[in-house]
Each structure stands twice: as structure tokens, then as C-alpha cells.
Structure 1
Amino acid sequence: MPEPLFTYPKKEKLKSRKIIKYIFEQGESIKTYPILIRYVENDLEYPQVGVSVSKRNFKNAVDRNRIKRQLREAYRLHKGQLTNKGKNHSIMILYIGKTHLGSEKIHKVVHTLLNEIK
């Protein structure tokens, strides 16, 4: 039975330190301010995604957690673009901006970046 399209199940959450390290060492990157995406192709039947926000730019955990929540939500709504391409990727979404932007701007940027993934 196929998974519903607009979900973000536990198996899609990128937690493996080995894979994250590999993404940063060998992966490709695409960037549109204020978001950077690093990714590698994986052998799984589904994409895996992790999000990160720098503590240097956002001192308060409340602010970092809000941005991470917005990034995960933007991915959840636009992940259909990835599954339509036939390949699956392990992806890290990094928020590199120094100021917080609204959800609409984050959604637009994530949408355009996910389209660029090969």
C-alpha cells in the first residue's frame, strides 16, 4: 500500500551520523538564500531528510525550533516533487540566514530547491 503523499513518517527522518557525514563530504549542494540543501542519492525506497539551523545565528532554541518546524513542513508539502523523479535522495536542509523569514518565503525557496535536485 503506498504511503499518503503529505506525510513525514519516522523512516524518512535522517538521523544516521554516517549518512550525514557522507552528505557533507561527498554530496552536491544547491543554494537559494536563506536555504542550502546538500544531498546524495540513496538506495532506499524513500527519501530521507534532516534539517539544521545554526546556533550561531539563532541563540534562542525557540527560534531555531520554529525554523526547523517550518522547514520540515515545507518539505512535507513539496516532497511529491522528489518522488516523481524516480530516484531517492538523502537530504540535509540547512537554514543559513541570519534573520527569520516567514513561512511563505521558506515554502517558496524549498519548493524551488527541491525542483533543482537531480
Structure 2
Amino acid sequence: MAYTYGKKEKLKSRKLIEALFAKGRSFSAFPLKVFFSIQPAESEVVLQAGVGVSARNFRKATDRNRIKRLLREAYRLQKTELQAVGESQQKSLALFFLYTGKEMPEANVIQDKMRSALNKLAEQINR
């Protein structure tokens, strides 16, 4: 149950994504750039996340799709700690992970970087 990434957890709202890039905060954990905004919890969904890869760095859609798949999988497996922090603080988070590297990553590299990014994010929420 905890390791899901269902429809309600996906960041789909164009308005919310635009607001995230315009007004949200961000930090980098190379090769990931993480955009986030923290609001008081209004709905039952604590986390909403999206992923993206630059078409400038990866011309082929198959390459972009593979990287996005790796990012979503790494997030899905490691989000539980962040979810617990959000629930305890009664905050909801909107996240967007942007892959900024120039070469095709290995799955274990993405896992490590996602772990460090989520730990950094948990620290930001606790402040």
C-alpha cells in the first residue's frame, strides 16, 4: 500500500505546475533539480509529484521516457519517509523532479540521487 504512485499522487494540474515553477522553491541534487511548494493540507493527498526531462539534452522520446520511468520508480520506492513528515506537520507538498544531466543514467545512480533529494526536502519541511 505504501509503495504506490496512484493517479491522485501525480501532479497533473497545469495551473499547479506553472505556479510551482513561478513561485515555488527549488534546489539541486545533480543531476536532479527539485521544485517544490508547501501548503497547509487541504485534501487527503499529502504528496503530488511530477517528473520531466529536457528534450534539448535527449532528442529521442524513448530516452526521455526511460529516464522519467526511472525517476518515478525511485520516487515511488522512497517517498514513505517524506510522506510521514508531511502528515505529521499537516502539510501538503507539490513536487517536480527535473533531470538535468546530459547522459543516460544508471538506475542505481537515480536511486541514490533521489534519496539525497528527498532527505534534503524533508529537512526543508521541518524548518
Question: TM-score, normalised on structure 2?
Answer: 0.87
1:88 Cα deviation from its structure 2 partner: 2.5
Aligned mates of 2:25, 2:81 — CA distance in 1: 18
Aligned mates of 1:41, 1:69 — CA distance in 2: 25
- Given candidates 96, 100, 103, the residue that maps to 2:104 is 100
Aligned partners of 1:37 and 1:93 also within 8 Å: yes
Aligned mates of 2:24, 2:100 — CA distance in 1: 17
Aligned mates of 1:19, 1:108 — CA distance in 2: 27
Count of matched residue pairs:
115
Of 39-48 and 18-27, more deviation after overlay is shown by: 39-48
Residue 115 of structure 1 aligns with which residue? 119
Residue 49 of structure 2 aligns with which residue? 49
- Unaligned 5+ segments in structure 1 are none
Q: CA RMSD in A?
A: 1.0
Q: Percent identity?
A: 43
- Unaligned 5+ segments in structure 2 are none
Aligned partners of 1:82 and 1:88 also within 8 Å: no
